[in-house]
Amino acid sequence: MREIRWAVLGTGVIANEMAAALKKNGRNISAVGNRTQEKAVAFAEKYGIEKVYDDFHEMFIDPDIDVIYITTPHNTHIEFMKQAIRNGKHVLVEKSITLNSSELEEAIAHAKEHGVVIGEAMTIYHMPIYKKLREILGSGKLGKVNLITLNFGSFKDYDMSNRFFNRKLAGGAMLDIGVYALSFIRYFMSSKPDQILSQMKPAPTGVDEQAGLLLTNPDGQMASVMLSLHSKQPKRGMVSCEKGYIEIMEYPRAWEAVITYTESGEKEVVKAGEHADALAYELADMEQAIGGDADCMYLSYTKDVMDLMTEFRKEWGLKYPEEE
C-alpha cells in the first residue's frame, strides 16, 4: 500500500505541529495552501514541502492528494470540508469540526455519499493514556463511573478583535476549549448526556467568556465543567468511580494519570504515550481510518459533542453571523 499523501490548509500553530509530527516519523506534508500565499511559501521552505498552491482551492482538486488537514477558523470549516469531500478527499479537521450540529450532519451525509472519511482532530480520542484508562475501567477494578469534573481556563488578552473573542471568527470558550471537556466527558460516559444546565458570562462581543456546565446521561452519570478565556485554571480532569478516582492533569494532551483506590488509599501512576506526539497519534489514527477502521476516529462521539455544544449555545442565545 502506497504512502498516504497529505495536504494542509493553513499555516498556523497546528499546521506547524502537524509538519513536525510527520517529520518525526520520516514523513512529510505533500502540499500546503493558505489565503496568504507568501505564508504558504515560507511554511513550505521551513519544512521542505514540494508543492505550494498559487490558489489554495487547487488542493481540493489535486489528484496527487489523498487527505486534507483543515486548520483554519471554525466558521470556515464546513465550506472547505464540502469542497474537499465532493472531490473525493478524506478530511481531518481541527476542532471544533463545524459551528453546529446541522453543519456536521451535512458533512457526514456528504462524506457517506462520496465514500470518504472525515474526522475531528480531537487529541483525547487518540492519546495512548486514554486507551489505557479505558482498559482499566473495562476491567471493573474501579467499578462504575459516577462523576466527572473538569476545568479548562486560559488567560487571553482582552482584545475583542482576536479570534478568541471575535464573533465573526466564531470565538468563545465553548468551541475553542469546551470541546475538549465535552469530548473527555463523552469518552468516559457510557452514553450521551440527555440533561444539561448551564450559566454563561458573555464577553463584550457577546461570545461566551466563561461558562459553567452540568450534564447527566440516562445511566445516571453526571459531569460538571468550568470554562474561562480570561481567567487561568489548571487543565484538570477527574473521573470518580465506585472504588476509586482518576486524576488527569493537562488532559487535552495527557500522558499520565493518577488512580486513587478508595478502600486502601493506594495511589497508582499510569503512564502511556508522550505529550509531544499528540498530533502524530491523530494522524496515525486518521490513516488507519482511511485504511478501513473508521471507528478509530470516534465520529459518533464528535457528533454527540457537537449536539451538546449546539444545545448549550441555543440556551444562551449565542449565534454566529453564519447562523443568522
Total Cβ atoms within 10 A of residue 232: 9
Q: Output the CA–CA distances (angstroms, integers) from residue 195 to 165, 182, 209, 213, in the order listed.
A: 28, 14, 23, 11
CATH of 6-122, one of 2.30.300.10, 2.40.50.100, 3.40.980.10, 3.40.50.720: 3.40.50.720
Do 227 and 173 touch, CB atoms closer than 8 A? Answer: yes
State the CATH class of domain 124-275+295-323.
Answer: alpha beta
Phi, psi of 110 (to 5 degrees): -65, -45
**DSSP per residue, 46-94:** HHT-SEE-SSGGGGGG-TT--EEEE-S-GGGHHHHHHHHHHTT-EEEEE
| Mean per-residue pLDDT of the chain | 96
> Looking at the DSSP assignment, which residues form a beta bridge with residue 51?
31
Residue 1: pLDDT band with limits 50, 70, 90:
low
Query: What is the pLDDT at residue 253?
Result: 97
Closest to 126 in 3D by CA, of 85, 177, 183, 71: 183
**pTM, full prediction:** 0.96
Under the banding of pLDDT at 50, 70 and 90, the label for residue 26 is confident
Span(s) in the chain for CATH 3.30.360.10: 124-275+295-323
Does residue 33 contact residue 49 with C-beta atoms inside 8 Å?
no
Which contiguous run of DSSP H or E holds residue 212? strand 208-216
Average pLDDT of the residues in 242-270: 97
pLDDT tens per residue across span 55-111:
999 999 999 999 999 999 999 999 999 999 999 999 999 999 999 999 999 999 999
Q: Where in the chain is the domain with CATH 3.40.50.720?
A: 6-122
Read off the pLDDT of each residue in 37-52 and give the average, rounded to a whole number. 94
